[in-house]
Amino acid sequence: MDRVKQAQEDSTDTATQILDVAERLVQVRGFNAFSYADVAGELGLTNAALHYHFPSKPELGEALIARYAIRFMGALAEIDESFSDPLQKIDAYTGLYAGVLRSQRMCLCGMLAADYETLSTGMRGAVVDFFEGNERWLAEVLKQGRDDGTLDFPGSPLEEARSIVSGLEGAMLIARSMGEIKRFKSAATHLMTALRP
């Protein structure tokens, strides 16, 4: 393997490791509660090495959101491929949140929303885009369910989708503060039950 290719792979591996550590720190502490020194310390890097890959913390934040959104939207595509029933799709969707909570983390964009006023303009836009993407996907599932008679809810599919996303994000926060994932599961079950005709 030539040196240039090896250097590129090493650089990519380091950037991925930085993103992995930073993502965990944001999901556990919040964006404003970690520093480059925290990431560098965990990886045995210098702050200069972090700045080489991500020159500023907002650039690191934007990269975190972009990667998280790609993975999350990929998970939604997998749900679409795996299930045809709208209720099963929504159940699988709530399962994504439960999985994050089980790993003792919070939704990355939910944590960033808590820090919204202190985020860069680019990060703010990316957080909003993430939630709007979730709402659009859910609205399509809800519309499908209303059209085929498997779901029933007041208002528009988009209004219901917004309510579900807000409910799940809030349920994660409460469950985390109480240290009880069953609180999240109970809230998710209530949301699902309310959608049945």
Domain annotation for the chain: domains and CATH numbers: 58-195 (1.10.357.10)
Mean of pLDDT values over 173-187: 92
Percentage of the chain lying above the pLDDT 90 cut = 89
CA torsion, ordered 92, 94, 100, 104, to nearest 10 deg: -130
Read off the pLDDT of residues 37-62 as tens digits, 9 standing for 90 and up.
999 999 999 999 999 999 999 999 99
Instruction: Report how far residue 138's alpha carbon sits from residue 159's, in angstroms, rounded to the nearest whole number.
Output: 10
Has residue 9 got a pLDDT over 80? Answer: no
**78-120 pLDDT, tens digit each:** 999 999 999 999 999 999 999 999 999 999 999 999 999 999 9
C-alpha dihedral over 173, 175, 177, 179, to 10 degrees?
-150
Looking at residue 140, its pLDDT comes to 98
User: Looking at the predicted structure, is the pLDDT value of residue 10 above 80?
Assistant: no
Which of 175, 146, 140 minimizes the C-alpha distance to 161? 140
Which pTM value belongs to this model? Answer: 0.89
